[in-house]
Each structure stands twice: as structure tokens, then as C-alpha cells.
Amino acid sequence: MIDEIRHMIELQKYWDNVVRAEKEIESAENEIKKSEKEIEIKKSGFNELKTRIKNLKSAVNRNEVLLLELAGKENDLAEKSNSAQNEKQMNAFNSEIETIRKNKNTIEEETFTQMSDLENLNSESADLESKMPQEIADIEKHVLMMTERIERFKEIAEKNRKAVDDNSDLLSGQVKSKFLKLLNSSNRKAIVVIEKNACGGCRNVLPVNDVNDLGDNKKLISCQNCGKFLYREN
Ligand SMILES: [Zn+2]
């Protein structure tokens, strides 16, 4: 194997480590975003519940005030009905009383439903309140782990990127610039292995002459389709 191919394989290995580390960083960053979103949803869900409870309590209070008012009116009308001058007057008062009673019934039923809802929401809220701190602490712990993971892989990427930089001068000028450019091409490979007479990068079947020319990695050849350098595995 000629030195140039040997160096390129070595540089590609460093570069593969950079690519792997970058993927790890990206996935850890996504994990963090997901976790932060999760915390946000939990907190806003809890706040929403608190607001619903508050509104429901006000509604119950309003209805209770209303019921007291209606009871007062009902009493007044009952007194008036008792001291009515004639039957016509009495019937009028009684019909008003009947309307008020119907009204009261409707409001009482509504209040009953509201109170039962309130009870459910309160128990839901208490449940959340007891579980949520631990759940959030767990997620935050996960975020911290991911943050540390990112730092670790940043170091790995940095170290290997430096190894590529430091060793790229082992390649001759033209080969070096083409090689470095190819490192950022599709699948981020600059040199690929030949698999069954096809380019390991783009699967293009190589001309027989190229394959013969390469021999036992004795000559530098590249794929005519994707441009990547080629070598044969021993
Ligand atoms: Zn190719």
C-alpha cells in the first residue's frame, strides 16, 4: 500500500470520530430540548389546573350569593302572598315564587356539579403537587447528564479534528486539498473501500481498468462519479 492511501485511511478514521461525536452532540442537544419542553408542559399543565380551580371556586361563590339572594326574595314574596288582598294578587305572588324556585333548582344543580368537579380537580392538583417536584428533578438530572455528554463529545471532536489538521500535511498539496474538501461531502467520507468492484461511497460500478490500476493499493484512484478516493481492503 502506498503511503498516501495509508495516510488517508488514517485521517479518515480521525474524521469518522469527529462525525460520530458530532452526531452524539446533536442527539444530546435534541434530548435537552425535549426535556425542557417536557418540563414546560408539566408546569403549564399544573398552572392551567390551578386556574381552572380558581375559576370554578369563584363560580361556586357567585352561585352561593345568588342562591341567598333568591331565598331572600322568595321569603319576601311568601310574606306578601300571605298578606295578599285578593286571590288574583296571591296567585301573582305565587307564580313569582314558582319562577324563583325553578331558578334556584337550576342553580343548585349547577353548583352541585361544580363542587363535584372541584373536588376532582383538587385531588388531581394535590396528586400533581406531590409527584411533580421529583419528576422535574429527574428530568433536570437527565439534562445535566446530557450537558456533560455534550462537553465530553466536544472534546473528542476537537481532539480528532486537530489530529486531521496536524496530519493532513502528510498528503501532497493537491491530494490534500481535494481530500479535505471531500471530508464534508455526502456521508462525509473522502476515501472509501471498494466493495465488489463498486465505489463504497456512491455504489457506482468502477471501470475494470480503474480496479486493475489500483492493484494492491499501489496507485491513487478516485471514483469517476462521486470523486471519493478508493482503496481495497486486504
Ligand atoms: Zn463514488
Q: In angstroms, what is the span from residue 201 Cα to ligand 1's centroid?
A: 5
Query: How high is the pLDDT of residue 209?
Result: 86
Distance CA 204, CA 188 (A): 17
Q: In angstroms, what is the span from residue 229 Cα to ligand 1's centroid?
A: 8
Low-confidence ranges of the chain (pLDDT < 70): none
Query: How high is the pLDDT of residue 234?
Result: 72
Helix (H, G, I), strand (E, B) or coil at 201: coil
Q: In angstroms, what is the span from residue 190 Cα to ligand 1's centroid?
A: 10
Q: Which of 170, 201, 216 is the last residue of a domain?
A: 170
Tens-place pLDDT, residues 21-61: 999 999 999 999 999 999 999 999 999 999 999 999 999 99
Q: In angstroms, what is the span from residue 183 Cα to ligand 1's centroid?
A: 13
Q: In angstroms, what is the span from residue 228 Cα to ligand 1's centroid?
A: 6
Query: How high is the pLDDT of residue 216?
Result: 86
Q: In angstroms, what is the span from residue 15 Cα to ligand 1's centroid?
A: 18
Query: How high is the pLDDT of residue 112?
Result: 97
Structural domain count, the chain: 2
Can you give the residue range of the structural domain that contains 97? 3-170
Residue 211 and residue 97 share a domain: no
Residue 117 and residue 46 share a domain: yes
CATH code: domain of residue 27: 1.10.287.1490
Contacts from 64-73 at CB under 8 Å and sequence distance 24+?
64/111, 66/107, 67/104, 67/107, 67/108, 67/111, 70/100, 70/103, 70/104, 70/107, 71/104, 73/100
Residue 165 and residue 52 share a domain: yes
Residue 75 and residue 87 share a domain: yes
Q: Residue 199 pairs with which residues in a beta bridge?
A: 194
Residue 184 and residue 158 share a domain: no
Distance CA 115, CA 121 (A): 10
Distance CA 232, CA 225 (A): 18
- The helix (run of H) or strand (run of E) holding residue 195 is strand 191-195
Residue 19 and residue 110 share a domain: yes
Q: In angstroms, what is the span from residue 55 Cα to ligand 1's centroid?
A: 66
Cβ atoms of 217 and 202 within 8 Å: the answer is no
Q: Which of 170, 188, 223 is the last residue of a domain?
A: 170
Residue 181 and residue 166 share a domain: no
Q: In angstroms, what is the span from residue 7 Cα to ligand 1's centroid?
A: 20
Residue 90 and residue 11 share a domain: yes
For the question of whether the overall pTM of this predicted structure is more than 0.75, the answer is: yes
Residue 213 and residue 98 share a domain: no
Distance CA 105, CA 101 (A): 6
Residue 178 and residue 166 share a domain: no
